[in-house]
Structure 1
C-alpha cells in the first residue's frame, strides 16, 4: 500500500523550509492564520518557491469570513491565480459558496479552468455545507482534485465518521484530505478510521505561526 502523504499549512518562509526539512510532502502557503488563511503575498510566494523543491500549493482567498464573494473579490481571485501561476506554484486552494450555503459551481469551475493545468483543492468552506455527499459530486464535476475537510465544522476527530464515508464515496475520483485539528496525537486514529491518502496539519504547537519540526516528524511517523 502506498504511503500516505502530508501537507503542512505554512504562514511564513521559515515554516515552509522547516516543513521540507522534516519530511512534509507539500506546503500550503497562506497568510493570516487567525482568519483561517488568505492569499499570501506574491513576494513571499516567490521566495518560498526559490527555497523549497517540494510541492507548493497556494491559497486564493481575498479575506476572512464567509465564502460568498462580491464580483470585485471574484475578479481579484482570478487575477491572483494568473499572477501566482507565473511563479511556478504547483496548485491552488480555494472555495466559493452561494448565499444559500451550497457550492457556487460556475465560479468554482471558472477558477479551476483558469488554474489549469495546475490542480485545485476545495478548502474547508466544505465543512459548513449541509449535504456533504451532494457537494462531493458537485466538486468532482467542477474539476477539483482534492477536498480539504474536517468532516464537521469542529475537528477531524468529531468528523471522522463523515470523513470515512467521504473517502468511500469518493472512490478514488477525488482525494479527501483530512485537516482541521489534526495532530500527531490523533492522526493514527484518523488514518485508521478514514484510510485517507493525504493529510493536512498546521503543525503549530501553542501560539504563533511557526511550525514545529518535531510535530511534523511525529505526524509523518504515522504515515
Structure 2
C-alpha cells in the first residue's frame, strides 16, 4: 500500500517524508487546483527528499486544453524537472470534446520517453471514464489520479472499484483514488475499491488547511493503516 500526499515546498516535503509518505505530489497554487511549481521550488524539493516526487505540470487553471505556445512552455517545464534530477510528472490534457488529447500525449512521450506520468484529475472531466481509461492504456502512463468522476471518492467509489478492476484485468495504468479521502474513511473506501495507492490532500493537515503543516497524528494513523 502506498500513500501519496500533496506538498508545496521543501519544508513540507521533508516533513511528509519523515512522517511516512511514500510519494509526493509537488504543486504550486493549490487554491487553483495545483499549478507548475517554480524552478527553485522543484530544485530544493528534489535535493532534500529521497522518496519519489511527481511534479505538477499545469500552466493554467482553466480547462485542460493547451495551445501550441502553452505546449512549448510545458516542454520547457518538463525538461527543467529532468535536468534537476526529477523522474516524474503529473499531467493531463483533453480535447475540446473532453476526450484524452492523444496528440499531446504522443508528442510528450516522443520527447520524454522515460518520464513517469501520473495522469491527473482531468481524467474526471472526460465524457466517458472507461473509454478514457482504455485510451490511456495505449500509452506508458503509470497511474491515474481520479475520484471516479464524482466530487469525491466517497461519491465515486463504485466507479473507482470498476476502474481498479479494469486496471487489474487489463494490466493497465494503476488507479489512484484522490479527493475527499481521510484517515476516517480510508478503510471503508479501500475495502470497497481495493486500490494499491491513495492520494491525500488537506485531510492530512492541521485543521484540514494547506496553510498548515502535516498532522503527525493523522499521518501516523495512515502509516499504521497501510501496514
TM-score range, shorter chain: over 0.9
Question: 1:180: which partner in 2?
Answer: 179
C-alpha distance in structure 1 between counterparts of 2:135 and 2:23, whole Å? 25
Q: RCO greater where, 1 or 2, for CA within 8 Å and sep 6 or more?
A: 1
**Once the 2 structures are TM-superposed, how far is the Cα of residue 135 of structure 1 from its aligned partner?**
0.3
Question: 1:116: which partner in 2?
Answer: 113
Correspondence 1:101-180 to 2 at 5 A: 101-171=98-168, 172-180=171-179
Question: 2:208: which partner in 1?
Answer: 206
Bigger drift between 113-122 and 58-67 goes to 113-122
C-alpha distance in structure 2 between counterparts of 1:97 and 1:180, whole Å? 20
TM-score, normalized by length of structure 2? 0.92
- 1:61 and 2:20 are equivalent in the alignment: no
State the Cα deviation string for residues 143-174 of structure 1 (Å, max 9, x = none): 21100001123001001100000000111321
Could you say what the CA RMSD is over the residues aligned between the two structures, in angstroms? Answer: 1.3
C-alpha distance in structure 2 between counterparts of 1:105 and 1:165, whole Å? 23
Unaligned runs of at least 5 residues, structure 2: none
**Once the 2 structures are TM-superposed, how far is the Cα of residue 25 of structure 1 from its aligned partner?**
0.6
8 Å contact from structure 2 (residues 81, 87) kept in 1: no
Q: Call closer, same or farther: CA 1:69–1:18 in 2, change over 3 Å.
A: same
8 Å contact from structure 1 (residues 81, 114) kept in 2: no
C-alpha distance in structure 2 between counterparts of 1:78 and 1:122, whole Å? 16
Number of residue pairs the alignment of both structures matches: 220
Bigger drift between 209-218 and 184-193 goes to 209-218
State the Cα deviation string for residues 13-67 of structure 1 (Å, max 9, x = none): 2211111001101111010010110011111111111110011110100011210
C-alpha distance in structure 2 between counterparts of 1:143 and 1:35, whole Å? 28
Q: Secondary structure at the match of 1:180?
A: coil
